[in-house]
Amino acid sequence: MGNGANLDWENLGFLYRETNANYVSYWKDGAWDEGKLVEEKMLTISMASPALHYGQQCFEGLKAYRRKDGTIGLFRPDQNAKRMQDTCRRLLMPEVSEEKFIEAVKMVVKANEEFVPPYGSGATLYIRPFIIGVGDNIGVKPATEYIFCVFVTPVGPYFKGGMTPIKMVVTDYDRAAPHGTGAVKVGGNYAASLLPHEIAAKEGYSDCVYLDPKTHTKIEEVGAANFIGITKENVLVTPKSPSILPSITKYSLLYIAENIFGMKVEERDVYINNLDEFVEAGACGTAAVISPLGSLTVGDEKHVFYSETEVGPVVKKLYNHLIGIQYGEVEAPEGWIVEVK
Which active-site residues does the annotation give? 185
252 binds ligand COI per the rule CB under 6 A: no
User: Is residue 4 near ligand PLP by the rule CB under 6 A?
Assistant: no
For strand 337-340 and strand 72-75, is the pairing parallel, antiparallel, or unpaired? Answer: antiparallel
Q: Per CB under 6 A, does 285 bind ligand COI? A: yes
Rounded Cα distance, 77 and 129, in Å: 11
| Integer Cα distance of 250 and 284 in angstroms | 6
Residue 97 burial (CB count, 10 A)? 11
Judged by beta carbon, residue 129 or residue 312, the one nearer ligand COI is 129
Asked whether position 236 contacts ligand PLP by CB under 6 A, the answer is: no
HSE toward the beta carbon, residue 325, CA cutoff 13 A? 23
Over the window 79 to 108, marking each residue x when it contacts ligand PLP by CB under 6 A and - when it does not, the resulting string is ------------------------------
Q: Does 247 bind ligand PLP (CB under 6 A)?
A: yes
Residue 248 has a CB neighbour count (10 Å cut-off) of 23
Specify the residue, 137 or 185, whose C-beta has the smaller distance to ligand COI: 185
Q: How far is the CB of 23 from ligand COI (least distance, A)?
A: 18
Q: Residue from 2, 55, 61, 187 that binds ligand COI (CB under 6 A)?
A: 61
Q: How far apart are CA 125 and CA 112, in angstroms?
A: 9
Helices assigned H by DSSP within 229-312: 248-259
Kindly tell me which residue out of 166, 211, 225, 254 binds ligand PLP, with binding defined by CB under 6 A: 225
Question: Which of ligand COI, ligand PLP, none does residue 256 bind to, with CB < 5 to 8 Å depending on kind?
Answer: none
Q: Are 243 and 213 in contact, with CB atoms under 8 Å apart?
A: yes
Binding site for ligand COI (CB under 6 A): 61, 224, 285-287
